[in-house]
Amino acid sequence: MFKFQDFDGKLLALRAEMTAPVARIVTTKMQSLPEPIRLFYINNVFRYSQSYLKREREFCQAGVELVGCSTSEADAEILTLLMSVFKQVGLTEVRIDLGHARLLKDLLNAAELDMSQKTIIQGLLACRDLVGLKKFMEQNSFPSNLKKAFLELSSCRKLDKLSDVSLEGLKYDKVNNQLKSLAELQKILKDYKVEDKIFFDFSLTKKIEYYTGIVFEASVPNLGLPLGSGGRYDNFIEKFGKLKMPATGFAIEIGKLLQALAIQGFKVPESAKPNVVVTSIIRSVGVKAVDTLREKGIIASLEATKRSSEKTVEYGKI
């Protein structure tokens, strides 16, 4: 995040994402609106990154937020909308990797692991090192049911397989509830016919701490960074007011979307030029002619200069 001081010594920061500004607007301007509230935005954001990473520090985001609904149906709507955006612009080979912000954390807490053990497991999962994970759990005498759950979740790539994972005991209630919610989400996504584009990733938890439910990233082959990402944040909006409002949403980086389209051979169309240039000695006749052409969907412009007819014809051929 870019931070600096103004002339009065007050600390200022450039917005790093749009979720916080949207949350402020919802709590101050939209309290009386019926829920759920559906919003969209297109705006620039600013993020600091090391120069060697060659990442843009200012870029344009387009995003949506669905506020006031905590159901799996709302999450499915957001995921389906994200896939629809890519389909509408003609992008192919898109996949969405989906995880849960609390699933891994709650499983680690329920397993009563110390901080160093948690860090090691998270690192092994991030590298998809199942051999190393299995070896670590054996060396630290993990219970067989816990070992099985970690391995099953780590190797699982489709949401419909999560119903096979279950842990007995009250301390695993949160984990089991999250698995049930993901299984429910899978059924809804199947109705939307997008389930084949969505893959489960146990290690995907996102660095932003306000996420409370599903988290996801959209990507295509041959592009190193995600096109967009999002998730559920049920406790964030109340930080900006007294309203406790669940929410879910996503943001797409426009620059990366254009890069992905270019890799797949898409060419940005040239700006449209007038198809017809109208010139008339009597202005009112020319205006009427242009209006008539435009009403029929023809791109038309009225000659605005006082050049000769010959030069106007030459201009029209350009």
Quote the distance between the C-alpha of residue 209 and its chain's center.
16
**Which amino acid does the sequence have at 62?**
A
What confidence category does residue 296 fall into, taking pLDDT thresholds of 50, 70 and 90? confident
Q: Closest Cα partner for 61 from 211, 197, 201, 249?
A: 249
Return the higher-pLDDT residue of 315 and 22. Answer: 22
Buried b (16+ CB within 10 A) or exposed e, 42-75: eeebeeeeeeeeeeeeeeebbbbbbbbbbebebb
d(CA 40, CA 135): 47
Convert the pLDDT of each residue in 271-288 to its tens digit. 666 688 888 888 899 899
Average pLDDT, integer, range 214-240: 91
What confidence category does residue 210 fall into, taking pLDDT thresholds of 50, 70 and 90? confident
Return the higher-pLDDT residue of 301 and 62. Answer: 62
Convert the pLDDT of each residue in 146-204 to its tens digit. 888 888 998 899 998 888 888 887 788 989 999 999 999 999 999 999 999 999 999 88
Which are the contacts of 299, defined by CB distance < 8 A and separation ≥ 6? Answer: 272, 273, 274, 275, 276
The runs of H, that is alpha helices, within the chain are: 19-29, 72-88, 103-110, 115-126, 130-139, 144-155, 173-192, 254-263, 283-295, 309-316
d(CA 95, CA 188): 17
The CA angle 170-173-178, to the nearest 5 degrees, is 170
List domains and CATH numbers for the chain: 3-101+206-263 (3.30.930.10), 276-316 (no CATH)
Indicate the range of 133-137, 145-149, 172-176, 306-310 predicted with least confidence.
306-310
Claim: this prediction has a pTM higher than 0.85: no
66: its two tokens: 């669905």
What pLDDT is stored for residue 75 in this prediction?
A: 97
Residue 49 has pLDDT above 80, yes or no: no
Residue 53 has pLDDT above 60, yes or no: no
Residue 70 has pLDDT above 90, yes or no: yes
What pLDDT is stored for residue 54 in this prediction?
A: 62
User: For 187, what's the count of Cα atoms within 13 Å in the CB-facing half-sphere?
Assistant: 8
**Residues of the chain with pLDDT > 90: what percent?**
40
d(CA 1, CA 245): 26
Convert the pLDDT of each residue in 71-124 to its tens digit. 999 999 999 999 999 999 999 999 999 999 999 888 888 888 888 888 898 888
